[in-house]
Structure 1
Amino acid sequence: MAPTPYPGVAAARPNRMDALAVFLIGFAVFTMSMHVLRPGPVNVTVSDAAIGGCMIALMLRHRINATPFARSTFFWCFGLTLMLGGLLVSSIANGDPLRWIIIAGQYAFAWLLLPMVFFSLSSGQMRRCMLWFVYGVAASQAFALAISAFLPVSTLKSLFGPGFLAGNGRLGALTGESNWNGAVIAFALPMLISCLHYKLIGRISAAICTVFLGWGLIACASFTGFGAALLAVMITLGLSNPRRLFKIGLPLAGLVIGYLVSGLPLPAIFQQRVAGALTSGDLSSAGTFEGRAMLIAEAWKLSEQTIFLGFGADRYREVSEFGAPVHQFLLLILTEGGAVALAGLLVMLSILWVIALKSLKIDRQGGATAVAVLTVFCIFTTAVPHMYTRLWIGPVLMALAAVGRVQQRWAVAERPRNPGGENWL
């Protein structure tokens, strides 16, 4: 009998409920980036439903990890309480408490229950979850690129929503929004490098995934996504093995930049929104940078009024002269929940960084992936409003749990591998 990877798991032999939990989490991470797969406008996706089912299965087996961040769990919960508490008080004073209930439920699921689920599985299982996340993102690009070649934009919008393929040609794929699509691709690329390192995927399969991820990254024409993806790959290669950075990373970056400045063919929308800004150095031509900068400047000015009490959950758009939420996560929390809510968010972000940097000592490759994925997350805090949708925090938690020592005594036992092949998860 093969030894189990964690001492505390030896007595817990896998059963059907364990197998169900593992299957559900695999399906959940495969579809995590596919935000259009939800019933109507409700922000509950098929991935969320699978995560909920996995949680129930783990609870029935008494294997749910209630302390996913070990001793830091108390501070994590304290930070989440501060953030949601600040939003609650501000909503009662200035906003709509009913709207707070919806937003608080979304954050509680994403930032509290999701880590409990991920850290209830072994690090080996979470590495394979990263692989299935990569497969899901690549499949989303492949499907979108293929179907958009045959169906008109009007039909695609009626089937998958307006963000699947924008009128200007930007690809949102099954993520449903082009910038979000750039984000999940940026998350997937360092994960793909990690899976290749752990030999969870063959070189041919990795090359096919890279083609679709790269094609999708160009087609979504997200300046933030492109920059985050390039930086994430450099971080993964540099922190895991500096020699790979010089042998692979820098030549690859040079090849990409050389192609951009050479004037060779590129999709018009990518040339307009990304390549032009990179080659000229003029960020004002990078997509909607100018509009976002105006919103950020407005939010910074309004934050003088929201130190003690914010405008309330989801109310920034009502007080803004532009009628839209500021696309800067930290400023949005400050203006809607006050300084207390912002302090809570900063506590949680600090915990994520401490765990990611410490993970470099446990597993160099896994730690490098965690740092790269967290870097992408932090980059996008400057480009999006509320971040309770699971495709944001989910990849970060996945990468951290793939390194983890925290879940040792909780992890669901892994099934022995079949002599003729490897189990899917």
Structure 2
Amino acid sequence: MNQAATLSARRGWRAIPDRDRVPLPIAMAVFLACYLSWRPSRDIMFTASDMLFLLGGWILLTRKRLPAEPLGPFTAPWLIAFTTMLAGLLIGSVASGSPDRWTIVAVQYIFAWIVLPFLLIGHGHRYTMILARMWLLGVVAMELVGIIVYSTFDMSFETARQVLGLDFISGSRRLGVFATDANWNGAVIAMTLPFAFYLASKKLIGPIFTVVSVAILVSALTFSASFTAFTASVMAIVIFLTVGAVRPKPWAILLVLAAGSLVVTGEYTPEIFQKRVGDAIETGDISEAGTFTGRVALIADAWEMAGDHLLVGIGVDQDRVVSKLRAPVHNMYLLVLVEGGITALLGWVGMMLVGLATAISAFRHDRLVAAVALSVLTTFFIFSTASPHMYARLWAVPVLVALAVARDVSMQAEGGEPTRSGRRFATRFRPADARLSSTAR
């Protein structure tokens, strides 16, 4: 780049309002949010992404750029619901004599669902689009590395774990990559596909990058061999196309049909995918899907315990101790009910409803925005019925970025800027026929 071009680029960067700039640590934190194995200790959920989030949060705080209400009118209900959930879990933990474990889990939940919203939501359209692209890039890069290693690494499971990390490739040769779990990796992919379609629809990524990214994500999805992830991905795509009123091009339809036929027939798909997912699709028998039978047994056990602990739960992380099967139920709703009673369940459901309301509120302003928010949330809802505690950042970040997209379009329609901590911006009003800028659309 010559000197004139360099000067022009610098002037262009300076021309960007400070409120629209994403601190580099936060951009990198979003990029690495699903890299859970990148942490100093397997016993402590504090990753490289978390460290970068803290650094980026400090930058925003010192520059007085933290929004006072990241979710706008939905901020108070969100905080109330979250507090209700933690209160229920605390009551159960104190009653069971294990408040120390509640403290650890509460800190994780607070960081994921209270701190991160202030860092990711309510900062403006340009800020949010950078976050969406960084999330997509981070997941695509991780899956590309995973596919290359999966296709070339032929050592034993024990060697793979020592060299690559916890369950990069599981004992049954399922791809977990840096997410440390094949099912979690599948969830990450399912929540990322809508971002690829949204950014492509807004022409924020090129068609070649879109095709390559989707191909990498879908390939990695088959290597993860997760029935839940496969089902969630299909539902996410259908919701995005339906809500967004997207009309796929003929070549895209043919490509999807060809890919679907390969999946159904088992051609060019990993053997483990055919065993865990393909057979269930072909026969229509969901009991053949992965560990379905075992999870049903855990649900039945948890449902029995819930009847005895409806008002006061058994305490955080006590389900795995009290359960006859010595494992936590893989259903977030049942888990908080058992461990925190009806109070905790109402809090968690309240948070989900607030997120849903935020996504739906964007529909009248921009259908594509509502489409990406609802498709990501749907995927999250599906996995919340198949996962234990959900404070890992790979759950929170895609959901919060999707809600940030929805919140931004509502802010632009309202014609104002969010109130920042430490100062207030004057509300700007625009003519009714110019409330949505072309970039927002």
Contact kept? 2:23, 2:59, Cα under 8 Å:
no
How far apart, CA to CA, are the structure 2 residues paired with 1:175 and 1:315? 25
Q: Kindly indicate whether structure 1 or structure 2 has the higher relative contact order, using CA contacts under 8 Å at least 6 residues apart.
A: 1
Change (3 A) 1:332 1:199: same
Match of residue 110, structure 2, among 108, 111, 114: 108
Structure 2 matches for 1:24-423, cutoff 5 A? Answer: 24-41=25-42, 42-148=44-150, 149-150=152-153, 152=155, 153-244=157-248, 254-403=257-406, 404=408, 405-406=410-411, 408-410=417-419
How far apart, CA to CA, are the structure 2 residues paired with 1:252 and 1:294? 39
Contact kept? 2:39, 2:45, Cα under 8 Å:
yes
The CA deviation string for residues 197-236 of structure 1, in whole angstroms up to 9 with x for no partner, is 1222111111221121111100000000011111111111
1:186 aligned counterpart, secondary structure: helix
How far apart, CA to CA, are the structure 2 residues paired with 1:202 and 1:396? 24
Question: Is 260-269 or 286-295 further displaced after alignment?
Answer: 260-269
Change (3 A) 1:32 1:216: same
Aligned sequence identity (%): 37
2:363 aligned counterpart, secondary structure: helix
How far apart, CA to CA, are the structure 2 residues paired with 1:98 and 1:261? 49
How far apart, CA to CA, are the structure 2 residues paired with 1:37 and 1:359? 35
1:3: which partner in 2?
none
How far apart, CA to CA, are the structure 2 residues paired with 1:329 and 1:217? 23
Contact kept? 2:69, 2:122, Cα under 8 Å:
no
1:361 aligned counterpart, secondary structure: coil
1:43 aligned counterpart, secondary structure: coil
AA in 2 matched with 1:166: S
How far apart, CA to CA, are the structure 2 residues paired with 1:50 and 1:378? 27
How far apart, CA to CA, are the structure 2 residues paired with 1:199 and 1:261? 32
Q: Could you tell me which runs of 5 or more consecutive residues in structure 2 were left unpaired when the two chains were aligned.
A: 1-14, 426-441
Question: Is 230-239 or 167-176 further displaced after alignment?
Answer: 230-239
Contact kept? 1:172, 1:180, Cα under 8 Å:
yes
1:360 aligned counterpart, secondary structure: coil
TM value normalised by structure 1: 0.89
Question: Is 324-333 or 60-69 further displaced after alignment?
Answer: 60-69
* 1:173 shift after superposition: 0.7
How far apart, CA to CA, are the structure 2 residues paired with 1:172 and 1:132? 20
How far apart, CA to CA, are the structure 2 residues paired with 1:233 and 1:241? 12
1:418: which partner in 2?
none
How far apart, CA to CA, are the structure 1 residues paired with 2:400 and 2:251? 27
1:259 aligned counterpart, secondary structure: helix
Contact kept? 2:309, 2:341, Cα under 8 Å:
yes
Contact kept? 1:237, 1:249, Cα under 8 Å:
no
- Cα RMSD of the aligned pairs, angstroms, is 2.2
Corresponding residue pairs, total: 399
How far apart, CA to CA, are the structure 2 residues paired with 1:37 and 1:163? 13
1:7: which partner in 2?
none
How far apart, CA to CA, are the structure 1 residues paired with 2:361 and 2:122? 20
* 1:306 shift after superposition: 1.2
Change (3 A) 1:242 1:197: closer
1:26 aligned counterpart, secondary structure: helix
2:433: which partner in 1?
none
Change (3 A) 1:160 1:98: farther
How far apart, CA to CA, are the structure 2 residues paired with 1:32 and 1:121? 19
The CA deviation string for residues 398-425 of structure 1, in whole angstroms up to 9 with x for no partner, is 0111232459335899xxxxxxxxxxxx
* 1:251 shift after superposition: 5.4
AA in 2 matched with 1:75: P
The CA deviation string for residues 232-258 of structure 1, in whole angstroms up to 9 with x for no partner, is 1111122112533x9578656544443
* 1:22 shift after superposition: 2.4
Contact kept? 2:332, 2:386, Cα under 8 Å:
yes
Contact kept? 1:260, 1:279, Cα under 8 Å:
no
2:436: which partner in 1?
none
AA in 1 matched with 2:417: Q
Change (3 A) 1:411 1:257: farther
Contact kept? 1:120, 1:411, Cα under 8 Å:
no
Change (3 A) 1:202 1:13: closer
Change (3 A) 1:337 1:212: same
